[in-house]
Structure 1
Amino acid sequence: MARKTLHLTALSKISKAITSDLYLEDILKLIVSVTAQSMGSKLCSLMLLNDKGELVIRATQTVSEGYTKKQPVKLGEGISGRVAKENKAVAVYDVQAEPQYKYKEIAKQENICSYLCVPMNVKGKVIGVLNLYTSEPHKFTKGEIDLLSSVAAQAALVIENTELMVKTKVIQEELESRKIVERAKGILMKERSLGEADAYRLLQKYSMDNRKSMRQVAEAIVLSHDMKSKI
């Protein structure tokens, strides 16, 4: 009952983190820290797939340099790579006796024995894995596997939402920049009797000569025009 309470507390903390104003990196660190604590784990880490299709550590509560500097894992390689490729959890009772486990030296140094790896997926697409290790031999129960899978699902959700917000913000900023540049171009065309192409080239030249972005130059032109209109 006590362990179940800890598990529910962990899920509650993670749910609150997802709806907080914390940065993504802080949320991921909180997830691995709370998960390790609630499940009595020696070590917990979160790995995400990069553009090369490799799993890279993005968060862990350990301070071990040997573990945090592990090389990226290719999709299908080792236990974590296999979990990411097959989208299916894998539990290992003894990593030293597991042929597929790649980091036996690190496991020995860190006194790691049992290992549970679950996939992180969004709408069926795997984006990474969540790893859990124990220092004593441990047979992971279905309840523990389900709990870690729930944590992984929530972690995947926060990553998807954060990336979506970033993309949306970038798109909005791009549209705003285009609008302001178009307005500045129109002002130059009218005030200097320039064609559209010449007005745009003038904006570009001023931007390059003064090491300012096109938006900064355009905003200055619009501001100056608006001030003149009010005087």
Structure 2
Amino acid sequence: MRKNNPHRYAEYVKAFAEISRVATAETSLEDILGRIMRITAEATGFEICSLWLIDESVKPSKIRLKVSSLDREFMKDSCLDMNEGVIGFVASTKQPFIAKNIQREPRFTAKEMGWELGAASMASVPLQIRDGKVIGVFNCFTAEPRDFKEVEVNLVRTVAHQSAMAILCEELTLKTRKLQDDLETRKLVGRAKDILVRQRNFSGEEAFRWIQKRSMDSRRSMREVAEAVILSNVLGYYSSIPHAIE
């Protein structure tokens, strides 16, 4: 068992600050989460850190490995049921899980993998957003049996919280970007419709259906078709509008 170490606590404080800074960095989500994993491992001495996210796009929902400090083949494409093992327990109950000896823990079902990785103790906490919804689980293992101190558990909670916030920000960014793209597409389709109404004597509905059909026939987006129509009009190639995307 490790003794209290003032230097170790100073490292934890530094890690708290660094994780908060990284979580708001303007970079990819994978990079943010990967850096958070590395900072946590360096500050705590955890042998393995991993982050799992709940996939609600399938029914029933699954828990999939998103980021891991391990780069091993058997960790790739890892997927668990919502009630499977420690990770499933944490995700479904919204409760943290601490175990000094995972081999003696009934909920830890991957004992063979634990032996292979040399894992002894573990701490697992849920990733929760403001409304209390769990979106994933942060998991960490030590190579030697450990009684997790309160400051270590708090650091793990901070990692989970900051990871959840980074994921939420990424989702909001993607949603905002999609809304902007959808709005721009509607504007372009509207302009293309007006051109077709003027140049081809279509009704508004006929113009829309024409754009829609050209999109399906050419396997291109309605936005691309609309842009081609607009470009043909700008260049004065009115007769080429029906073939604008060929």
Answer yes or no: same fold by TM over 0.5. yes
Match of 1:29 among 31, 34, 59: 34
Residue 111 of structure 2 is matched in structure 1 by 104
- How far apart are residue 26 of structure 1 and its match? 1.2
> TM-score, normalising length from structure 2?
0.86
Tell me the secondary structure at the aligned position of residue 53 of structure 2. strand
Structure 2: which amino acid aligns with 1:90?
Answer: F
Tell me the secondary structure at the aligned position of residue 147 of structure 2. coil
Aligned residue-pair number: 227
Residue 194 of structure 1 is matched in structure 2 by 202
The verdict on how the C-alpha distance between 1:55 and 1:179 changes in structure 2, with shifts beyond 3 A counting, is same
C-alpha separation between the residues in 2 aligned to 1:65 and 1:224? 51
**Worse-superposed segment, 113-122 or 27-36:** 27-36
Residue 157 of structure 1 is matched in structure 2 by 165
C-alpha separation between the residues in 1 aligned to 2:90 and 2:160? 13
Match of 1:44 among 46, 49, 54: 49
Match of 1:62 among 64, 67, 70: 70
Give CA deviations for 1:4-24 in whole Å, capped at 9, x if unaligned.
Answer: 221122222222222222111
Match of 1:93 among 93, 100, 117: 100
- How far apart are residue 206 of structure 1 and its match? 3.1
Residue 88 of structure 2 is matched in structure 1 by 81
Tell me the secondary structure at the aligned position of residue 128 of structure 2. strand
Give CA deviations for 1:68-87 in whole Å, capped at 9, x if unaligned.
Answer: 14742222321111111111
C-alpha separation between the residues in 2 aligned to 1:77 and 1:199? 53
Q: Percent sequence identity over matched residues?
A: 37
Task: Structure 1: state its 5+ residue gaps.
Answer: none
- How far apart are residue 146 of structure 1 and its match? 1.1
Residue 13 of structure 1 is matched in structure 2 by 18
**Worse-superposed segment, 4-13 or 141-150:** 4-13
Give CA deviations for 1:61-116 in whole Å, capped at 9, x if unaligned.
Answer: 112333x1474222232111111111111100101111110110011011110010
Give CA deviations for 1:17-53 in whole Å, capped at 9, x if unaligned.
Answer: 2222211111111111111111101111001101242
Residue 185 of structure 1 is matched in structure 2 by 193
Match of 1:215 among 217, 223, 230: 223
C-alpha separation between the residues in 2 aligned to 1:177 and 1:70? 35
* Aligned 8 A contact 1:92 1:114 in 2: yes
> TM-score, normalising length from structure 1?
0.92
Structure 1: which amino acid aligns with 2:94?
Answer: N
Residue 205 of structure 1 is matched in structure 2 by 213
| Residue pairs, 1:108-123, within 5 angstroms | 108-123=115-130
Structure 1: which amino acid aligns with 2:62?
Answer: E
* Aligned 8 A contact 1:33 1:60 in 2: no
- Give the superposed CA RMSD: 1.6
Task: Structure 2: state its 5+ residue gaps.
Answer: 1-5, 237-246
C-alpha separation between the residues in 2 aligned to 1:192 and 1:65? 58
- How far apart are residue 160 of structure 1 and its match? 0.3
C-alpha separation between the residues in 1 aligned to 2:231 and 2:16? 50
Tell me, yes or no, if structure 1 residue 129 matches structure 2 residue 137: yes
The verdict on how the C-alpha distance between 1:54 and 1:205 changes in structure 2, with shifts beyond 3 A counting, is closer
C-alpha separation between the residues in 2 aligned to 1:105 and 1:70? 18
